[in-house]
Amino acid sequence: MEITGKKILLISPHTDDVEIAMGGSIVKFLEDGNNVFYCAFSIARESVPVKFPRDILIEESHKVLSYLGVLEKNITILDFPVRRFHSLRQSILEEMIKIKDSIKPDAVFIPHQYDIHQDHIVIYQEAMRAFFRNANIISYEEIWNQEKSIINLFIPLKASYVEKKIKALKFYQSQGKKAYIQENFIKSLAIVRGTQANVKFAEGFYIKRWREV
């Protein structure tokens, strides 16, 4: 599957989810001439380590995305309270519909259906409602959160894409102790997915809805 010259929307429950899951693919999409848009629904103020400002993830996310190549004008970061998405479904859906009507994306990347994080589940469900009839929908994986990992799409990555992803994620200093943001994890998973796809490196996804773009 090749995506070129299209509008790609990345839906992230919290700042860092999309970047960790598919940072290498973001670099590839941009190099292939796509217009990449990003929307995160929470900066997780309540979860930020005490030594950092509560809103540090706004700054860090912009640095990460800028390093990956996403244009500043294409970045939207909202401030829904972490772990309370279930009580704010309608507001979240309305934000997604605004984004859909504004961008009219060709492809939308969303959390995996087997993700057990309560906020991720809500984003998956509301994104399916908002975009299912109008765009191709692909789920990215965050295996540390998933009950099971089901993949039917591999996006091959150049070594330079993986290295750029690793360097970009270092801007997430407030999240730096998490195992799944460490260089060895990022590179190891890219090798595993690459082995499955018979290439050196790859990221794994699950196609929910696809028609030719």
Strand pairing class (35-40; 7-12): parallel
| Helix or strand (DSSP H, E) at 103 | helix 89-103
Tell me which DSSP letter residue 48 carries: S
pLDDT at residue 64, rounded to an integer: 98
**What pLDDT, in 10s, does the model give residues 150-184?**
999 999 999 999 999 999 999 999 998 899 999 99
Query: CA–CA distance from 93 to each of 23, 88, 114, 131, 164 (Å)?
Result: 25, 9, 20, 10, 32
Of the pLDDT bands very low, low, confident and very high (cuts 50, 70, 90), residue 213 is low
Which domains, and CATH codes, for the chain?
7-209 (3.40.50.10320)
**What pLDDT, in 10s, does the model give residues 42-79?**
999 999 999 999 999 999 999 999 999 999 999 999 99
d(CA 149, CA 168): 25
pTM score above 0.85: yes
